[in-house]
Chains A and B, each alone.
Chain A
Amino acid sequence: MSYQIKKWLILFGICTFVGLFSFSAYQASFLMEQESVPAVVILINEFTGSYSYFLLLPFILFFIERMRFSRTNWYWMVPSHIVFTMMSSVTHTMLMTVSRVWLYNKFDFGTYDLGEPYYRFVMEYHKQFLIYCSVVVAVYVVDYYRKNREREKKAAELQLTAAQLQSQLVQAQLQSLKGQLQPHFLFNTLNMISSFMYEDVKKADKMMAQLSTMLRMLLEHSDWQEVTLKHELVFLNLYLDIMRARFEDKLKTDIQLGAGLELAIVPNLILQPLVENAIKHNDFERSDITAVRIRIYKENSFLFLFVSDNGPGFNGNVASLLEKGIGLSNMKERLFRLYGEEHQLEFSKSQDGGLQIMIKIPYKTAAQKQ
């Protein structure tokens, strides 16, 4: 059943109840006064009254809904409502009278006596005014109740979104963890170590230790959102050491770090994936050597991280770039989550004609963080 049908059925029920209620009141009052008025006549009188009001209810409710009281408009809202009650009261009295005249006639109770019309209207107005006031109160109460329920529903929905966000975060972390531990990287590195074992056991030993440190850092700190730049560079250098051993002179790297930035806070695992992307996406068409440059400096209250390569470069299409590696779009989301509008992630052509990625984040240090 639709809300509207339900609403009008309930209102009809209330009118019927009011009719019955005042019928029993008048019946009692006539019995008390020892007047003999037939019960049917009282019934007709009271129901024509309440049902006439029911017929007017759509207009009355419409008026109340439209002409809301507020702190600023009461001085003209109150008079408008009073005028409206007068008009509706007169209409109601007329409706009531017409229906009573007709019913009296039909059931042979003689002619209906309205009494002195002027006083009749005044008398009815008093009753109408009180009824009108209670309808206004009822409308506001129902309204308040419904709004409250909607608010609760919305709050519940918000809670659900928050929970979903949380789970997305966990998923992103898992994904990036998996991204770091790329099986391809892992097995190729193990293969390199096994190769060194035939001729240079010490080197194999060193690589094994470096790989272990890398894995340990990943496992132990995977739930850290932010780390110091020093920590991040330790991880990056472990990775680069391994990659340089694997590709020998085919990989050139250059890291420039502004003075005193070791304790700056950066997102965990922000540099290594970018460097990995640069190495992976070099198609060696322009050069047989992959050259990756990392530049980090502070300007005003921001930390700038630049990673540039000499690969195929940037054709201006950010969307296709983000699509290429799951890492980049993931990183964008992470930066947004951590710094909101305060971060910047930009792509451009690097000095060597390759791709340059710029990340700008608010500068803070480990000391400030604590």
Chain B
Amino acid sequence: MKIRALIIDDEPPARKKIRHLLKNESRVEIIGEAGDGLTAVEAIDRLKPNLIFLDIQMPKMSGFEVLQAVEKKPLVIFTTAYDQYALKAFDVRALDYLLKPFDETRFQEALDRVIDTRKDQNEVHQKITDLLEEFQSQQTHIHRLLLKSSGKIFFVKTDDIQWIEAEEKYVHLHTTKECYLHRETMNSLASKLDPKQFIRVHRSYIVNLDSVKELQPWSHGDYVIILKDGAKLNLGRSYRERFMEVFGK
């Protein structure tokens, strides 16, 4: 069976070049192209390619973010013009990449090698998981979240999120207009958000400080947080001190 490949690059000539180099390659079938990260995530989830050619610097989302967002991670040949940080990360893990501009020989070499690794896919996947973990740890707080809802993929700005409610392995993101269900644990999400803006007020709640309207005393020294959209959230006892400290400012 042929390897089904997807080409992801924000520059059309760069995609064309890869297409051209694959013209006489009988092992590989090109199933599509994507010109930005968001389209790429959607295309990977939908088409489930075996192999992607992935440019690292792209608008909307970087290549790494694309890999993070997709459910089933395909084999990857990274392409980049210049990114010392990424190259170092690839070298450490013996992951193959193409430096632009590359010639036919170099391209063939990378392709042969990646096809070869299909035998031990687990090892390759482990390497990529490692890589993404390192990338995640390098990142500062996120400013938007990639959501998938009934086949649609879109961003939600963290600024628009008023409060977050946990429900087992999912979270409900309450924005001014809508409520989104997002598959991520509360702890994982909390670690990515800017702690100056988002604060945990309860085992199951995180609030955006900008959307807090007032704090009302309740019985027995408990408090209720009233948000601008009218929602009322209990302030958990163990979170009270920290909240007062931040909110008082």
A192 touching B14 in the complex, CB below 8 Å, given contacts A183-B81, A187-B101, A285-B60:
yes
Residues of B close to A198: CB separation below 8 A: 16-17, 20
Known A247-B11, A284-B36; judge A194-B57 contact (CB<8 A).
no
Chain A residues with CB under 8 Å of B17's CB are 191, 194-195, 198
Task: For A284, list chain B residues within 8 Å (CB).
Answer: 36, 59-60
Is B59 touching A188 in the complex (CB atoms < 8 A)? no
Q: At the interface, yes or no: B218 with Cβ under 8 Å from chain A?
A: no
Residues of B contacting A183 in the complex (Cβ-Cβ under 8 angstroms): 81-82
Q: Which residue of A lies closest to B10 (CB)?
A: A247
When distances are taken between beta carbons in the complex, the residues of chain B under 8 Å from A250 are 10, 35
Within 8 Å of chain A (Cβ to Cβ): is B100?
yes
B29 to chain A minimum Cβ distance, whole angstroms, is: 20
Residues 33-47 (chain B) with a chain A CB within 8 angstroms: 35-36
Cross-interface CB contact of B100 among A188, A196, A247, A248, cutoff 8 Å: A188
Give the size of the chain A interface in residues (CB under 8 angstroms).
24
In the complex, chain A residues whose CB is within 8 Å of the CB of B59 = 282-284
Q: Once bound together, how far apart are the Cα atoms of A304 and B14, in whole Å? A: 37
Whether B81 lies near A192 (C-beta < 8 A) is no
B82 engages A190 (CB within 8 Å): no
User: Is A193 in contact with chain B by the CB < 8 A criterion?
Assistant: yes
Instruction: Annotate A39-64 by CB proximity to B: 1 below 8 A, 0 otherwise.
Output: 00000000000000000000000000
B13 interfacial contact with A, CB 8 Å: yes
On whether the beta carbons of A191 and B82 are closer than 8 Å, the reply is no
- For the complex, what is the distance from the CA of A284 to the CA of B59, rounded to whole Å? 7
A108 at interface, CB cutoff 8 A:
no
A86 at the interface (CB under 8 A from B): no
Q: Which residues of B contact A7 (CB under 8 A)?
A: none
Complex: A186 Cα to B81 Cα, angstroms: 8
Q: B202 → chain A, closest Cβ, in Å?
A: 31
Scoring B10, B12, B155 by chain A CB atoms within 10 A of each residue's CB, the highest score goes to B12
Please indicate the chain A residues that have their CB under 8 angstroms from the CB of B57 in the complex.
184
B14 surroundings in chain A (CB, below 8 A): 188, 191-192, 195
Which A residues, 185 to 238, have Cβ-Cβ distances below 8 Å to chain B? 186-188, 190-196, 198-199
- Cβ contacts A to B, 28 pairs, < 8 Å: A184-B57, A184-B83, A186-B81, A187-B99, A188-B11, A188-B100, A191-B13, A191-B14, A191-B100, A193-B101, A194-B17, A194-B103, A195-B13, A195-B16, A195-B17, A198-B20, A199-B20, A245-B13, A246-B11, A246-B13, A247-B11, A247-B12, A248-B12, A250-B10, A284-B36, A285-B60, A285-B155, A288-B36
Please give the residue numbers on chain A whose beta carbons come within 8 Å of chain B beta carbons, in ascending order: 183-184, 186-188, 190-196, 198-199, 245-248, 250, 282-285, 288
Which positions in B face A, CB cutoff 8 Å? 10-14, 16-17, 20, 35-36, 57, 59-60, 81-83, 99-103, 155
A184-B81, A194-B17, A282-B59 known; 7 other A-B pairs, CB under 8 Å? A186-B81, A187-B81, A188-B11, A192-B11, A192-B14, A198-B17, A247-B12
